[in-house]
Structure formats: structure tokens, C-alpha cells
Amino acid sequence: MVLTKKTAAVVGHVGIEVANLGRSKKFYSVLFGGLGFKLTEGEFGIGIFNDNFQVWIGESQTQRVRREPPTGEELIVTDHLAVFVESRDAVDAIEREMKENGFEPLFPCEEHFQFEPGYYAVSFCDPDNYVIEVYTLPASKPL
């Protein structure tokens, strides 16, 4: 069946498989906690959520994917999660919060005109080298 009218569709959640849940918990708690997300824990792993989006993090029984760390020289890290926030101040604040908790950015806060004028972002690697980006755009819809 093909829909004939426009359907509102948004991403509701994403699941991230990690090698060691204990090691990854601090990273994700600091990052998403700094963005106002709440945390829940269960035997499955941890869930981090706000009113619009959920991130579920679980430890793999056997590691299925091994990621090499990005070099920092990539123009685009193709397998990453990007979280839109409403201001540059929010991007700057999450960079400060992460640094205060021992997580250095892969790409520090800066503008990326090559993506779109005003695209401003910071990116971090989680303990399994998965890249999480926090970005904003000036008076625009998220990409």
C-alpha cells in the first residue's frame, strides 16, 4: 500500500549496542543528562529519554561491531547520531559539561559552513567509538 497523503513521521528512538554498559553509562548519562534527558535503568540496559525521543543502550552478549576511532580528519563520520538543540549556547554548554566529566570532543564546537551556513556542532566518541554530535542551526528546522 502506498500512502496518498502526507504522513507525519519522526524518529521515536534509537538503540545503541555497547561492549560494556558500565563504562558507557557515564558517557551517555552526562551527554544526554546535560541535554535535559531523564534516565531509566532495567535488566535490558538503560533508557534515556525526553518528551520527543528515546535512546536505548544495551550491552551486547557478543560484540557484533567493532569501530575504529575516527581520526578527526574525516569530513563526515557517516555512522553517527546527531541531536538537534535550539541554540549555540546549548552546544557550548554540552561541550563544557562533557569536558568537566573527562570527555574530550572529537570535533570541538565550531561552525561547519560546508554543511549549511550557521551549522554549529560539537562531536564526541563514546567508549565504543560511536560518534554523537550535538548541533544547531540558526532559525531553521533541524536537518
The per-residue pLDDT for range 90-111, each reduced to its tens digit, is: 999 999 999 999 999 999 999 9
The arithmetic mean of pLDDT across residues 115-125, rounded, is 93
Residues, the chain, total? Answer: 143
Q: Letter for the amino acid at 29?
A: S
- In this prediction, residue 24 carries a pLDDT of 94
Structural domains in the chain plus CATH codes? 13-62+71-136 (3.10.180.10)
The per-residue pLDDT for range 18-76, each reduced to its tens digit, is: 999 999 999 999 999 999 999 999 888 999 999 999 999 999 887 776 777 787 677 66
pTM of the model: 0.84
Distance CA 93, CA 102 (A): 14
